[in-house]
Amino acid sequence: MKKIFWLVLILLLTNAALLLASDATGDSHAETPLGEVLPLWSVIPFVGILLSIALFPLFAPHFWHHHFPKVSLFWALLLAVPFVLAYGSPALHEIYHIVLIDYIPFIILLWALFTVAGGILVEGTLKGTPMMNTILLLIGTVIASWTGTTGASMLMIRPVIRANAHRKNKAHVIVFFIFLVSNIGGALTPLGDPPLFLGFLHGVPFFWTLKLLPQTLFVVALVIGIFFVADTLFYRRERLAGTLEEISGETAPIRISGTHNLLLLAGVVLCVLLSGIVHLGEITVLGVHLEIQNLLRDVMLLLIGGISIWTTKKAIRAGNEFSWGPILEVAYLFAGIFITIIPALAMLKAGMRGHMSFIIAAVQEPWHYFWITGALSSFLDNAPTYLTFLNTALGNFFSALPERQAIMQLIGEKEIFLKAISMGAVFMGANTYIGNAPNFMVRSIAEEQSIKMPSFFGYMGYSILILIPVFILTTLVFF
């Protein structure tokens, strides 16, 4: 089986290399941005890894469980090898850039939050009634804008799982948790979600995102209302069927262990915030310009994670049933996603000069920005997608102005467009498991606790049934 796998890999790589090489035009690629010359079909490896994540767990779960790192590597090489053969140093630069600027800081931040939050143990009797579940989800939603959706997710997911340990039907609780805590709740500050932080770095004022409060409250109210009704129906059905396990023994008061990790969690947030405010110059590594404050941030995050491991009692992590499995799964799969996503992002960045110009041309009204930014953020990295359509709006309205001045003009004269882009990028990351990194981590943690989560398409069934109507109402009310 292994020999067949590697044989197919070599054949596919060779074939793709020949095809891409036949499309190459020599040195002209060094002068022309790659997004303008890449063919539309170069996104096939990206589509392939998405379909692998969607279909293998459904049709070949045993193979996927043991070989998903190899599958991720397969698709990454299927893009990277012919990409470099065809386009040479510009292609290498793009790979170095996405690894050094995006992937490594992304994994370091997730690892730090995962490690620190895993050292906070909430003990006591939490009974997963519809009311208690609603309160827990609301708490997570509120703190997501200040600790980040990843921090809030890692902090709240284990208490939510423990509270519902006696429930037969609980996968829906985790799905709504992903909707609210891992995505929608992060809309109110640049700390909440990466696209908003990217906007902050490019000149959007820190507290401007609070203007999204009416839209966020509207969406949260609808989604939490739907959750309460659905959870109440499941709860009553379990009680009538006699499948609801009662919590035995005396109730215990709520107690939090590992509280020093709350300070470390605040340290993570502070490191991220300072990296967007302080400017210490830059260095060049492999032709990629790296800002010194970002490198210091990553070093500090590693130190904070190390301090958490060193100072947290093993019994606390054991109480959380903590393991490195979820973060490893995210690291392996997103390595493939980040590499294979390069052509799609490059073509979007090229605007009307790239082979995805049909997408850019379709964006005219605020609701266009909301839905197209959101649709792409459901499958692509929502941070560069946000930046792409922010630049599209700036180019459409204030192309002659410097970026920061243009952003202030956009806020002053056409603020609704920036709201649409921000809401689409943050809210619609909830549409798929890969729309936002915490989605995958929450699913993985839930499955480690023997909760049977919906498949990739099963999860999308939830989002299509619940979120899409909510977003349609949001469009009608606000756009």
Write the DSSP string, 280-309.
Answer: --EEEETTEEEEHHHHHHHHHHHHHHHHHH
Mean pLDDT of the chain: 84
Q: What string of DSSP letters covers 178-220?
A: HHHTTTGGGGSSTTTSHHHHHHHHTT--GGGGGGGHHHHHHHH
Given a cut of 90, whether residue 370 has pLDDT beyond it is yes
Instruction: Of 114-118, 175-179, 297-301, 412-416, give the range with the top mean pLDDT.
Output: 175-179
In this prediction, residue 304 carries a pLDDT of 95
In this prediction, residue 381 carries a pLDDT of 66
Given a cut of 50, whether residue 187 has pLDDT beyond it is yes
Given a cut of 90, whether residue 460 has pLDDT beyond it is yes
Given a cut of 60, whether residue 457 has pLDDT beyond it is yes
Given a cut of 90, whether residue 75 has pLDDT beyond it is yes
In this prediction, residue 151 carries a pLDDT of 81
- Lowest mean pLDDT, pick from 172-181, 348-357, 396-405: 396-405
Burial (CB < 10 A; 0-12, 13-18, 19+), residue 268, is buried
CA distance 82 to 16: 6
In this prediction, residue 278 carries a pLDDT of 86
- CA-to-CA separations, 252 to 33, 125, 247, 315, in angstroms, rounded: 62, 5, 11, 18
In this prediction, residue 251 carries a pLDDT of 64
3-state secondary structure of 27: coil
- Which CB contacts under 8 angstroms, 24+ apart, belong to 88-96? 88/29, 88/30, 89/30, 90/29, 90/30, 90/34, 91/34, 93/287, 93/288, 94/34, 94/342, 94/346, 95/339, 95/342, 96/285, 96/286, 96/287, 96/288
| C-alpha dihedral (221, 428, 149, 421), degrees to nearest 10 | -100
* Mean local confidence (pLDDT), 259-266: 90
More confident residue, 196 or 397: 196
Q: Is this prediction's pTM over 0.75?
A: yes
In this prediction, residue 243 carries a pLDDT of 65
Angle, CA of 361, 365 and 369, to the nearest 5°: 70
Angle, CA of 466, 198 and 282, to the nearest 5°: 155
Work out the percent of the chain whose per-residue pLDDT is above 90. 35
In this prediction, residue 8 carries a pLDDT of 43
In this prediction, residue 21 carries a pLDDT of 45
Which residues 6+ apart lie within 8 Å of 299 measured at CB?
none
More confident residue, 181 or 60: 181
Work out the percent of the chain whose per-residue pLDDT is above 70. 90
Helices and strands (H and E) in the chain: how many: 24, 4
Given a cut of 70, whether residue 13 has pLDDT beyond it is no
User: Tokens 């110009």 — which residue?
Assistant: 357
Compute the residue count for the chain: 479
Report residue 221: phi and psi, to 5°.
-60, -45
Q: Where are the domains of the chain?
A: 1-18+42-87, 101-478
Which residues 6+ apart lie within 8 Å of 356 measured at CB?
40, 344, 347, 348, 350
pLDDT band of residue 28 (cuts 50, 70, 90) is very low
Give rounded-to-5 percent helix, strand, coil for the chain: 75, 5, 20
More confident residue, 328 or 244: 328
CA distance 195 to 386: 6
- Lowest mean pLDDT, pick from 4-8, 243-247, 430-434: 4-8
* Mean local confidence (pLDDT), 73-87: 93
Bridge-based pairing state of the strands 255-257 and 282-285: unpaired
Task: Report residue 67 as tokens.
Answer: 């070989």
The DSSP call for residue 119 is: T
